[in-house]
């Protein structure tokens, strides 16, 4: 009888040990390599008390992750932003002694991260694209054909102001180049030069691993998510450009696919994906911060 008890207890303990750690457990987000967050169009690291990745870096650090938030041109081509990011990746590696980084890019930050992984795969362990413009955005297509030149000048000024307010060094701004990079034609050209992880089918998955770099993606698919969020009506309007295709207000779900698609239908919009506006998102969906923590734990499980 006593022997059966100990055998059963041993079995229970073994089963518990095999279960994944709960999201609140110590070390849950502790990855082997630093996590580097990369903002999208008109993005920043922080302006005053507001972080672009609102509450995300601190939540990842609380679970043991070493996290860095980069700052590239608020508006410029993918290649220009990519070279800026590459410089910061080198600086992070020099400061930490790490061999590689895990890049997590939102929106235009997705292709920006892909550029670095393409030209220097030896420095990158993984790329996670969040609402990434990996096959173009219909919103960018519409704007290129409808926006007068003066609007680009205003956008450049706004981008420069964003960089100034965030305390970033003076970075070149080129809103027209950004729009071209984010268009369907622009991303098609970019993908021909940097195809790693991009699905070859219209709405499928891409290669999970290329040149030693692991590729992941996830995105939202509900433009309007919270009546208290002032940005939601704008995203509900821009969502009309997709003619009913599933989208987050700025990027279609299929366009967001890269490598292993974790999910492309969270009830979140493009800004919810980075926990904006100041944490106001869909109360009936997984909290965006939790999704980032889950991805960090996924990377941890792969030894990244």
Active site residues: 107, 248, 270
Please provide the distance, in angstroms rounded to a whole number, between the alpha carbons at the two ends of the chain: 45
- Cβ burial 135-144 (10 Å sphere, 16+ → b, else e): bbbbbbbebb
The number of residues making up the chain comes to 304
Scanning 63-137, the segments in alpha helix (DSSP H) are 78-96, 109-119
On whether the CB atoms of residues 282 and 276 are closer than 8 A, the answer is no
On whether the CB atoms of residues 87 and 163 are closer than 8 A, the answer is no
Neighbour-count burial of 120, counting CB atoms closer than 10 A to its CB (0-12 exposed, 13-18 middle, 19+ buried): middle
What tokens does 59 get? 């939540």
Other CB atoms within 10 Å distance of the CB of residue 20: 11
């Amino acid at each position: 009888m006593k022997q059966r008890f100990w055998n059963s207890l041993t079995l229970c303990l073994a089963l518990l040990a095999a279960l994944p750690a709960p999201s609140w457990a110590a070390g849950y987000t502790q990855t082997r390599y630093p996590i580097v967050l990369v903002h999208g169009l008109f993005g920043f690291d922080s302006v005053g008390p507001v972080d672009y990745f609102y509450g995300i870096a601190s939540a990842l650090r609380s679970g043991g992750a070493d996290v860095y938030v980069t700052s590239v041109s608020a508006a410029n081509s993918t290649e220009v932003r990519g070279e800026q990011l590459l410089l910061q990746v080198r600086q992070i590696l020099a400061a930490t002694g790490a061999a590689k980084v895990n890049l997590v890019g939102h929106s235009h930050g997705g292709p920006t991260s892909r550029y670095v992984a393409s030209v220097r795969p030896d420095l990158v362990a993984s790329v996670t694209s969040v609402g990434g413009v990996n096959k173009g955005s219909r919103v960018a297509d519409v704007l290129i054909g409808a926006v007068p030149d003066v609007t680009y000048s205003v956008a450049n000024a706004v981008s420069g102001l964003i960089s100034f307010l965030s305390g970033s060094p003076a970075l070149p701004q080129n809103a027209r180049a950004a729009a071209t990079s984010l268009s369907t034609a622009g991303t098609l050209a970019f993908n021909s030069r940097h195809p790693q992880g991009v699905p070859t089918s219209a709405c499928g998955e891409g290669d999970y691993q290329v040149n030693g770099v692991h590729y992941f993606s996830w995105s939202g698919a509900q433009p309007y998510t919270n009546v208290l969020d002032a940005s939601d009506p704008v995203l509900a309007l821009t969502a009309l450009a997709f003619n009913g295709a599933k989208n987050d207000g700025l990027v279609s779900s299929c366009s967001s696919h890269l490598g292993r698609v974790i999910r492309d239908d969270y009830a979140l919009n493009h800004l919810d994906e980075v926990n904006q506006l100041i944490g106001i998102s869909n109360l009936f969906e997984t909290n965006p911060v939790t999704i980032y923590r889950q991805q960090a734990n996924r990377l941890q499980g792969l030894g990244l």
